[in-house]
A and B are shown apart, each in its own frame.
Chain A
Amino acid sequence: MDANKIHRHTIAVLVDNEFGVLARVVGLFSGRGYNIESLTVAKVDDMENWSRITIVTTGTMMVIQQIKAQLERLVPVHKIADLTIDGPSVEREMALVKVECKGEKRVEALRMADIFRARAVDTTETSFVFEVTGVRDKVKAFVNLMEPLGRIEVCRTGVVAVRRGNKTI
């Protein structure tokens, strides 16, 4: 195995939903020079007061291993799972894409949206906001296709992911 090969991993982190916890995680990445391709966070358990952070990161295997060990070391962190290693997982990302267009381009935009199963969640006579959900590449492809049609704004959530089957992290 090539030790210098760069891998992309999706890591799920279960943390106490407390003051400053996101800053600890983000600070760890910036302080140690690790990459963040995307990061999502939200509270997932009201009873336990847990938040789940999904981080997509890149690095050599040694760096990925370090990232996990360093995350594990943070006091409010309960669990770490490397969804890329732990077996098949479902990954999704959502984007809201605003397109400004008229005439023929409006028709084309709607046709594209249909192919990508994107929904128009807002419309005016001169604009659409599309909601598209899927794996990163699909979202990226849709965002790119909207560019020549008058794309003026994009907002992406970053990846969320869970394991397939009945196993949890």
Chain B
Amino acid sequence: MANQEMTGAEIVIKALVDQGVEVIFGYPGGAVLPLYDELFKQNSIRHILVRQEGGALHAAEGYARSTGKPGVVLVTSGPGATNAVTGLADALLDSIPIICLTGQVATHLIGNDAFQEADTVGITRPVTKHNYLVKSANDLAKTMHEAFHVATSGRPGPVVIDLPKDVQFEKGTYIPKTLVQHKSYKPQVKGDLKKIKEAVKMIAGAKKPIFYSGGGVINSGPKASKILTQLVRMTGYPITSTLMGLGAYPASDEQFLGMLGMHGTFEANNAMHDCDVMICVGARFDDRITGRLDAFSPNSKKIHIDIDPSSINKNIQVELPIVGDIAHVLEDMVKVWKSEVCKPDAAALTEWWKEIAAWRSRDCLKFKQESTVIKPQYALSRLQELTKDMDRYITTEVGQHQMWAAQYLTFEEPNRWMTSGGLGTMGYGLPAAVGVQIAHPDALVVDVAGEASTMMNIQEMSTILQYRLPVKIFILNNQYMGMVRQWQELMHGSRYSESYMESLPDFVKLAEAFGATGLRCDHVDNVDDCIKEMIETPGAVLVDMLVDQVENVYPMVPSGAAHNQMLLADDKAGVSPEVAEKGRALV
């Protein structure tokens, strides 16, 4: 008989094992002690002890993003749960499957302002895909399995299960996962074939087509990336990608135009603006992508493939929406393309590629490494050159360095690039690197960071050392919150209000204090040696790369501007006052 009586805590652990969970990230506390006791008694699940609950969430995100499996978190009630909120919001915006188990005070104490009580389901409702408060051990197994289903299917996202302490002690019946089915939650996986045929016709008839792919391709699984690559190559059309989608299409391919959007390439943004058919694959027309809405790709017909119906027509009206899982829809598209023997308009395509070549020739990512002061772009191009052939995973923090990393590092396959795209959470990269390295112990995991972001979750250095993780933290230190400083320069008359970091620590000594190796580099001639030393030194290494303090990220579509109004590094014109005025309000 599969059904057995056990305690709530035993049910939780058994459900995790049945769901194939190998690692959980967490931090103990009063309301989860029964669960921690069960963890102690078993050997199937490895627990990674972080130093603050926020770190557990980002580590789980890194784990999930780099493996395609859900990330699992265990934290206590009250402050444990509230510390988890940022990571949950981050996972929601980037569609990362997370199961977050939170302790709760005993059911008879709920609502009494008990010690370490917080209304966790109330607080996390808007930052999760779904959440549960389990009030009986008999509901526990079903809820656990349902939570995994909700978190990992459809558009993935974070799910919270709030577990009162008495429910963890209470006896209940375990139900295996095969017996759980949901009544109302049934995401659509297969796309409407009629629409797919229509889309293929539209794609084949295009004169200036472009594929615009996003994080949805990566969430759909490695197969989706393969089929996307196949489809794009069959058509011979150009493709660009969002920040979240990097790696879904091989960056070294001639048809890849680089990233689009606010800091995307000149060729990608201009091609988006001038195209006549846009095929949006698993992206969501986010404001960092579209720029000014009424000037976004004004003359194109748009096809939008997305698993989430609420992404359709949210920001941009599209002519042809297809709801479904990317891999399934693209597979059908390839089939239809073949069976109907579609041929692109070769002459028009040649013309289109000529236009693109002209934009490309602007070489929008070029930079001048003139003095001995290290340009951040130079440091990253060297990192790229010296690590590109390695088994490499990159995480980033948030800010200028993140955009440079997206521009100068390239990704040939999915799940290699972990970054906080939607929420833009500073402090993401260091704990995310923990999760990635746990999942891929022998790989090179580099957290490309800024000094300000690094300080936001620096305590996770201690986690890195506890588990002897060879994470490499690559800080581009400009002693500014660089992106804030850049916006203040461009939009707020260079009034650098509070964006300068005074009293920064000595990062080398800081690394050493944690038991890691610290390296500093402040001369352009030493960059290569420093990167090599970072890679060759066993264990955790923190690199303090002192870079040009006032370098800005270009190209840039200023807020309130259109895609074809980009600023390039060699334009000295700056942001027009009119755009600056509007852009300030748009953030």
Contact = CB atoms under 8 A, between A and B. Distances in A.
Interface of A: 16, 19-20, 23-24, 27, 31, 62, 65-66, 69-70, 72-78
Nearest to B308: A73
B125 A66 contact: no
B183 A69 contact: no
B93 to A, nearest CB: 13
Given A31-B126, A66-B314, A75-B130, A16 B183 contact: yes
Given A27-B126, A75-B130, 10 more contacts: A20-B122, A20-B133, A23-B122, A23-B125, A24-B125, A27-B125, A73-B308, A73-B309, A75-B129, A75-B185
A72 B187 CA distance: 10
Contacts of B125: 20, 23-24, 27
A63 B312 CA distance: 11
Nearest to B309: A69
A75 B314 contact: no
Contacts of B150: 75
A75 B184 contact: yes
B121 interface: yes
A31 B183 CA distance: 26
Nearest to A66: B314
B312 A69 contact: yes
Interface string B124-151: 0110011001000000000000000010
A62 to B, nearest CB: 6
**Which 6 pairs of residues, A with B, have the shortest CB-CB distance?**
A69-B310, A75-B130, A78-B184, A69-B309, A75-B185, A31-B126
20 contacts: A20-B121, A23-B125, A27-B126, A66-B310, A66-B313, A66-B314, A69-B310, A69-B312, A69-B314, A70-B310, A72-B309, A73-B308, A73-B309, A73-B310, A75-B150, A75-B182, A76-B184, A77-B184, A78-B183, A78-B184
Q: At the interface, is chain A mostly helix, strand, loop or mixed?
A: helix
A27 B126 CA distance: 7
Listed residue (A31, A62, A75) with the most chain B CB atoms within 10 angstroms of its CB: A75
Given A75-B150, A77-B184, A62 B126 contact: no
Contacts of A19: 133
A68 to B, nearest CB: 9
Interface string B181-215: 01111000000000000000000000000000000
Nearest to B315: A62
A66 B308 CA distance: 11
Contact of B313 (A23, A24, A65, A73): A65
B317 interface: yes
A60 B122 CA distance: 30
A73 B156 CA distance: 12
A125 B185 CA distance: 56
Interface in B90-132: 121-122, 125-126, 129-130
Nearest to B323: A69
A115 to B, nearest CB: 45
A62 B375 CA distance: 45
Contacts of A77: 184
B388 to A, nearest CB: 40
Nearest to B157: A73
A72 B309 CA distance: 9
B313 A62 contact: yes
Listed residue (A24, A69, A74) with the most chain B CB atoms within 10 angstroms of its CB: A69
Contacts of A24: 125
Interface in B143-191: 150, 182-185
Nearest to A28: B126
B116 to A, nearest CB: 21
Nearest to A62: B313
A94 B184 CA distance: 31
A24 B160 CA distance: 14
A74 B130 CA distance: 8
A17 to B, nearest CB: 12
A73 B95 CA distance: 14
Contacts of A66: 310, 313-314
A147 B133 CA distance: 46
B47 to A, nearest CB: 28
A73 B185 CA distance: 8
A75 to B, nearest CB: 4
Interface string B222-258: 0000000000000000000000000000000000000
A90 to B, nearest CB: 26
Contacts of A76: 184
A159 to B, nearest CB: 24
Contacts of B185: 75
Contacts of B309: 69, 72-73
Contacts of B133: 19-20
A69 B313 CA distance: 10
Nearest to B184: A78
A62 B310 contact: no
Nearest to A3: B317
Contacts of A31: 126
A62 B317 contact: yes
Contacts of B184: 16, 75-78
